Amino acid sequence: MEELLDALLRECQPYTAHGKVATYIPELAKGDPSDLGIYVLRSDGRHYQAGSYRKHFTIQSVVKPILLLLALLDNGEEVVRAKVGVEATGKPFDAINVTDSPLLSAHLNPMVNMGAIAICTLIHGSSYEERFQRLLNFTRQLAGNPEIDLDEAVYLSEKRTGSKNRALAFLLKSYGMLEDGVEEVLDCYFKACSIRVNSKDLANIAFVLANHGKALQSDEQLFPPEYARYVNAIMMTCGMYDGSGDFAIRVGIPAKSGVGGGIMGVVPTRMGVGIFAPALDEKGNSVAGIQVLERLSRRMYLSIF
């Protein structure tokens, strides 16, 4: 398996030159576009890795499935479905014009920015700082890593330059879909996106989703199996932004990408995969990361279709 991963990274390394690191968040512009790493955790407990798998990066939109899981645990499916829909928008992740009609919760999904901002309001806590701390602790629990923490520099960079997300939040507010103060909700969202992880962390989180909510090490049920199915289904249809359909054909597994360069791949009952490759395509997905996943899926017959 390690030989296969090494070979895949050699094959896909040239694709890192086909993308660009995100620059609209100034701190992300400092990333090395040549980075490429992968970590795989299988259901038999074996783990394999190659490349820049130790390198840390901010989770960005890969936090959205975790936000959704915590909202489900805090509120149940009915409340979450009433707040944010499940259908793919077919629009970029930060699109403002998601619909020509008056904005409704059904027009959003939890994997795009506007939906995730709305989801932040469902996390329980007496303050948005407490809500973020609960999300951070939940992320640590899922990853089995108590050292996961906030990247302060990226958080401040996002907060300083997040005009588009402010526009999205005020749009939600104007349609009565955001009751709390825009800045306090966004502060929680910016911090959520700025959680620092590595490929191993993403693979561990993905494995719990692949294993119906059970952690590998302790066999503890961290969340109900039906929530794993709910989140995996939304990642399958919406997780790779407006490239989700193409990804479903080419790779065929639930996955979530982030503009920090991470991809979290879930192979139900079989494995969790974490990838880091910060050179992105025009949709905000990792170019080399998708190439690695496509080849891994073909060689190991991972597609669920």
What residues are labeled active site? 61, 64, 189, 241, 259
Residue 49 per-residue DSSP state: E
**Nearest residue to 199 via CA among 264, 135, 247:** 264
β-bridge partners, 266 = 272
Q: How far apart are CA 149 and CA 140, in angstroms?
A: 8
Secondary structure of residue 283 in the 3-state scheme? coil
C-alpha to C-alpha distances, 79 to 64, 117, 173, nearest whole angstrom: 17, 15, 18
Q: What angle do CA 249, 275, 232 make, to 5 degrees?
A: 50
The sign of the dihedral angle between the CA atoms of 280, 23, 276, 303 is negative
**Kind and range of the H or E run holding 231:** helix 225-238
- Alpha helical stretches, state H, 34-95: 64-75, 77-83
Contact 261, 27 (CB under 8 A): no
The contacts of residue 301 (CB under 8 Å, 6+ apart) are none
Contact 241, 283 (CB under 8 A): yes
